[in-house]
């Protein structure tokens, strides 16, 4: 994990590339050699022009120089090709490692960060931002190095030939530099704004697609979905304004920079007439001065990408530097799997939602949480599964704080099934198999039978091979929940948490699933959160939660007698059931 960050963004980029430095070194060396061969034709042209003017009529002399020039062009192309390939191979390794780092980081940060960050923004960090490192890594490192070396080598040579002409050939460079500085003066600020607007547009687009059903139902299609259209326009306006600001500078720069002949020709003529410059030097300087601007302009184009590095690395580090749930790597010994909550307090943000929970959940028993909506039931379950750290108090499993249990061990211990368990856009079979990746096809089918969902799966168009669509969108809510339960049962963890896991299921199927769950979780610790109280009456312990505190706990019969809130909830539930069946 990378926590060493901050400071110079270019340094951070090099840090990313360091494991593949051999590829980059090879690439730079080959690019420099390629450039060196690329300079030869300029010298050959100057040499041949001088000889022509001095009256040399030896054809073989010119043929040899033409061959040398042609050979150098070919060598340059080959070396540059291999250099680009080496830098790209190294770069695509670096990019995939960076993406893997972010993906793995997301599994270690508290769930709060993931839930509170728009998924479009996280996707941007993992896909677009990392993609933007491709140019700096694959092109800037070899090509910018070589493109700067060519003009430097030519300039040094010009100074050796005639320092006055060397200075004259450089006159356009400061003018071009001034335009360039004008173009770049607000770059970090402007690019930061563009990234922000892009992220907002991306997050709004994801929200638009995710909420398309609601948008259609409330007749908010396309343009009338203001938030989306505003984000798209804001993004386009920002980029256009920025382009308008910089266009004048770039137009002047691109025309002035390559115009070295404007100064070299008249001044060279004057020196030549006055006898202080030989024809040979004049011709050589004229030809070579043409070779300065091209690579410089090419190198300058990369500074655009370099200027982006700060913002891009900032976004990537923004994810990589998120505080993690601190957990040990090593497995610890647990005496038993009793779960205890001691004076647990918790706040998602400012407002405290759990206010001192004391509770023991014995191993191998069924504990159910009931209570009004928003009272904190799911939060208790999520804290047991370590989605967040408690703000105060302690949660233990087998007398060990959950903070002392490694992520892997806790994942093996707990199966958590929520109301909206995510299904991947894959086959039903593969979605169930996620519970135990090494499970055979027959194991998957057996658990589906045991969980009471084989029949409905076989009725799907392609049975177990039916692709469930993005987030399981091709299935009904109840079907999605049943597959999620089968997946959790296949995992066969000793602690199972069902958080409204059958809420979308119709009463007839719910009875089948309940029966299957009780069979499959025999001997395991089962924690159930349910609104339909009739499904939890057999629990060993029912915990009534209200306003983040425990109002009462006991069996169904005990609570009916002792807890007025439970009694009221039960009566309301039974009345609702009667109305439905009437």
Q: Which residues would be at the binding site for ligand ATP (CB under 6 A)? A: 112, 115, 348, 353, 371, 373-379
- What's the closest the beta carbon of residue 371 comes to ligand ATP, in angstroms? 6
The SS3 assignment for 211 reads coil
User: Phi and psi at residue 525, in whole multiples of 5°?
Assistant: -85, 125
- What's the closest the beta carbon of residue 350 comes to ligand ATP, in angstroms? 10
438-447: long-range contacts, CB 8 A cutoff, minimum separation 24 = 439/490, 443/490, 444/490, 447/486, 447/489, 447/490
Q: How many CB atoms lie within 10 A of CB 508?
A: 7
Q: Distance (Å, rounded) from C-alpha 380 to C-alpha 357? A: 9
Secondary structure of 534-570 in the HEC alphabet? HHCCCCCEEEEEECCEEEEEECHHHHHHHCHHHHHHH
The phi-psi region of residue 224 (left if phi > 0; otherwise alpha if psi is between -120 and 50; otherwise beta) is alpha
- What's the closest the beta carbon of residue 565 comes to ligand ATP, in angstroms? 13
Minimum CB distance to ligand ATP smaller for 379 or for 505: 379
- What's the closest the beta carbon of residue 547 comes to ligand ATP, in angstroms? 9
Sign of the torsion angle spanned by Cα atoms 390, 394, 396, 400:
positive
Q: Distance (Å, rounded) from C-alpha 460 to C-alpha 509? A: 16
Minimum CB distance to ligand ATP smaller for 19 or for 374: 374
The residues with which 496 forms a beta bridge, in sequence order, are: 415, 526
**Contact in structure between 354 and 346 (CB atoms under 8 Å):** yes
- What's the closest the beta carbon of residue 369 comes to ligand ATP, in angstroms? 8
Structure token digits, residue 321: 């530097």
- What's the closest the beta carbon of residue 148 comes to ligand ATP, in angstroms? 51
The SS3 assignment for 436 reads coil
Q: What's the Cα-to-Cα distance from 65 to each of 46, 62, 153, 280, rounded to whole Å?
A: 11, 5, 20, 17
Minimum CB distance to ligand ATP smaller for 490 or for 544: 544
**Contact in structure between 346 and 379 (CB atoms under 8 Å):** yes
Minimum CB distance to ligand ATP smaller for 80 or for 395: 395
Tokens 């191998």 identify what position?
Answer: 364
- What's the closest the beta carbon of residue 370 comes to ligand ATP, in angstroms? 9
User: Phi and psi at residue 356, in whole multiples of 5°?
Assistant: 90, 70
User: Phi and psi at residue 423, in whole multiples of 5°?
Assistant: -110, 140
Q: What's the Cα-to-Cα distance from 259 to each of 25, 41, 210, 301, rounded to whole Å?
A: 34, 20, 54, 18
Minimum CB distance to ligand ATP smaller for 188 or for 393: 393
- What's the closest the beta carbon of residue 413 comes to ligand ATP, in angstroms? 21
- What's the closest the beta carbon of residue 339 comes to ligand ATP, in angstroms? 17
- Strand order of the β-sheet with 525-529 is 414-417, 495-499, 525-529, 366-370, 541-546, 549-554
Give the start-end residues of each E strand in 101-196. none
Minimum CB distance to ligand ATP smaller for 218 or for 348: 348
Q: Distance (Å, rounded) from C-alpha 108 to C-alpha 387? A: 9
Minimum CB distance to ligand ATP smaller for 65 or for 346: 346
DSSP 364: T
User: Phi and psi at residue 361, in whole multiples of 5°?
Assistant: -115, 100
- What's the closest the beta carbon of residue 498 comes to ligand ATP, in angstroms? 13
- What's the closest the beta carbon of residue 143 comes to ligand ATP, in angstroms? 47
Minimum CB distance to ligand ATP smaller for 114 or for 340: 114
Rounded to the nearest 10 degrees, what angle do helices 226-256 and 172-184 cross at? Answer: 170
DSSP 362: -
- What's the closest the beta carbon of residue 543 comes to ligand ATP, in angstroms? 11
- What's the closest the beta carbon of residue 351 comes to ligand ATP, in angstroms? 7
**String of b and e for 91-116 (b: at least 16 CB within 10 Å)?**
beebbeebbebbeebbeebbeebeee
Rounded to the nearest 10 degrees, what angle do helices 261-274 and 279-320 cross at? Answer: 150
Q: Distance (Å, rounded) from C-alpha 570 to C-alpha 188? A: 61
- What's the closest the beta carbon of residue 393 comes to ligand ATP, in angstroms? 16
């Amino acid at each position: 994990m990378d926590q060493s960050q901050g400071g110079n963004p270019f340094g951070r980029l090099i840090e990313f590339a360091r494991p593949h430095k051999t590829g980059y070194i090879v690439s730079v060396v080959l690019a420099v050699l390629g450039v060196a061969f690329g300079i030869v034709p300029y010298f050959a042209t100057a040499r041949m022009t001088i000889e022509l003017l001095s009256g040399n009529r030896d054809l073989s002399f010119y043929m040899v120089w033409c061959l040398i020039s042609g050979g150098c062009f070919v060598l340059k192309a080959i070396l540059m090709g291999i250099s680009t390939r080496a830098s790209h191979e190294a770069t695509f390794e670096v990019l995939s490692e960076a993406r893997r780092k972010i993906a793995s980081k997301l599994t270690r940060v508290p769930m709060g960060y993931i839930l509170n960050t728009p998924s479009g923004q996280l996707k941007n960090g993992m896909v677009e931002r990392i993609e933007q490192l491709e140019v700096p890594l694959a092109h800037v490192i070899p090509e910018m190095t070589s493109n700067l070396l060519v003009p430097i080598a030519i300039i040094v040579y010009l100074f050796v030939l005639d320092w006055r002409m060397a200075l004259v050939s450089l006159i356009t460079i400061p003018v071009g530099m001034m335009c360039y500085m004008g173009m770049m003066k607000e770059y970090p600020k402007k690019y930061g704004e563009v990234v922000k607007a892009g992220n907002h547009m991306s997050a709004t687009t994801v929200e638009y697609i995710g909420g398309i059903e609601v948008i259609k139902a409330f007749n908010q299609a396309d343009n009338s979905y203001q938030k989306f259209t505003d984000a798209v326009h804001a993004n386009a306006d920002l980029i256009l304004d920025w382009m308008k600001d910089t266009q004048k500078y770039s137009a002047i720069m691109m025309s002035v920079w390559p115009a070295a002949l404007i100064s070299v020709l008249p001044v060279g003529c004057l020196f030549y007439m006055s006898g202080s410059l030989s024809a040979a030097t004049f011709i050589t300087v004229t030809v070579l001065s043409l070779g300065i601007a091209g690579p410089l302009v090419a190198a300058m184009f990369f500074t655009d990408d370099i200027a982006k590095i700060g913002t891009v690395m900032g976004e990537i580090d923004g994810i990589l530097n998120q505080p993690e749930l601190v957990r040990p790597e090593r497995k610890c010994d647990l005496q038993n799997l009793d779960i205890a909550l001691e004076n647990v307090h918790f706040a998602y943000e400012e407002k405290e939602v759990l206010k001192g929970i004391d509770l023991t959940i014995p191993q191998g028993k069924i504990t159910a949480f009931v209570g009004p909506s928003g009272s904190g039931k799911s939060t208790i379950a999520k804290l047991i599964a370590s989605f967040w750290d408690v703000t105060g108090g302690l949660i233990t499993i087998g007398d060990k704080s959950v903070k002392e249990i490694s992520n892997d061990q806790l994942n093996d211990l707990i199966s958590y099934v929520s109301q909206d368990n995510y299904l991947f856009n894959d086959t039903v079979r593969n979605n169930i198999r996620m519970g135990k990746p090494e499970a055979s096809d027959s194991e998957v089918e057996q658990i589906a039978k045991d969980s009471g969902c084989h029949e409905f799966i076989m009725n799907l168009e392609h049975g177990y091979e039916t692709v469930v669509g993005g987030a399981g969108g091709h299935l009904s809510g109840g079907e999605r929940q049943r597959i999620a339960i089968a997946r959790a049962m296949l995992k066969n963890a000793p602690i199972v948490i069902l958080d409204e896991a059958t809420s979308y299921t119709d009463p007839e199927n719910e009875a089948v699933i309940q029966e299957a769950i009780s069979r499959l979780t025999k001997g395991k610790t089962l924690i159930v959160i349910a609104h339909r109280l009739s499904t939890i009456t057999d629990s060993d312990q029912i915990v009534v939660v209200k306003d983040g505190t425990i109002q009462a706990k006991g069996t169904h019969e005990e609570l009916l007698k002792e807890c007025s809130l439970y009694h009221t909830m039960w009566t309301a539930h039974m009345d609702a059931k009667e109305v439905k069946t009437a």
